[in-house]
Structure 1
């Protein structure tokens, strides 16, 4: 199982009136409620994280694992989408990732605040959990993500 995870607007609410606080590693502190929600998703699904954030290439996978762990998040594996050298939209980045994984057997959820992702093709949009940028990931949205990740095991044949 995979969580395609954005950071800004998901783990760090984007409130223009409030300057984010940073830890010693130079990255913003995550919202406590969002951390708890993501911890719950990880505990329920044992998913790996694939970072989609615009910050993804500032750190390598091991550094990201340390950043996440220092904020209370410990996925079994951390990966990131490739560098966005063409500066395409998040939607196009995710579409490209999906095209490069045609035999994807794992369930996945996309957790992001980018409203443009509502334009994804239906087969991808059904895996989207859209956060409010000023609130971030919540318990209700965590429930939705867990449901998406567990959908194969809940089908009745």
Structure 2
């Protein structure tokens, strides 16, 4: 699973400062976290963080944040930071090619992902900034898992 945070688990409007949780990091939308946990029970996933936030915290710090938010699975790693990539679409394509990833879901709100070729785009759950990974997106993801 290639997972973004903003617009997926963090649903604050971009024009407002994040609400901060007791551990000093941005609050996650609780219902989006519940939906992610439900999804994680349906199939075995490794979580790879694609969020630009991956550049300011370590994997250990993010795993503690996930644990504090009640996410029942640890992050395996971050998408590498590719200097020559201009958007999320390019990062994900490079990651898939480099790591030879085949069975995966992408959960992200980045509109550049609409430009993915259909074979990869059919594994995309495109969320909306202020709705995040809501129940509608959980249903969509569940259908896609059954096809994998």
TM-score (norm 2): 0.89
When the two chains are superposed, the root-mean-square deviation of aligned CA atoms in Å is: 1.8
Give secondary structure in 2 for the equivalent of 1:98: helix
- Specify the alignment match of 1:9 in structure 2: 7
Instruction: Give the conservation status (yes or no) of the 8 Å contact 1:45–1:146.
Output: no
* Gap regions ≥5 residues in structure 1: 153-157
* Aligned residue among 91, 113, 119 for 1:117: 113
Question: 1:14 & 1:29 partners in 2: Cα distance?
Answer: 9
Paired positions, count = 148
TM-score w.r.t. the length of structure 1 is 0.85
In structure 1, distance between residues paired with 2:21 and 2:27:
6
Which of the numbers 112, 137, 152 marks the counterpart of 2:133?
137
1:114 CA displacement: 0.9
| 2:6 alignment partner, SS class | coil
Shift of 1:42: 0.8
CA distance in 2, matches of 1:115, 1:40: 25
Deviation at 1:62, TM superposition (A): 1.9
Contact 2:11/2:129, CA 8 A, preserved across alignment: yes
1:50 positional shift:
0.5
Aligned to 2:30: 32
- Would the aligned equivalents of 1:108 and 1:148 in 2 still touch at CA under 8 Å? no
Q: Which runs of 5+ in 2 are unaligned?
A: none
Distance in 2, Cα, partners of 1:62 & 1:43:
23
Q: Is the 8 A contact 1:47 1:76 kept in 2?
A: no
The 3-state SS of whatever aligns with 2:105 is: strand
Instruction: Return the offset for 1:143.
Output: 2.0
Given that 1:10 and 1:135 are in contact with CA atoms closer than 8 Å, whether structure 2 keeps it comes out as yes
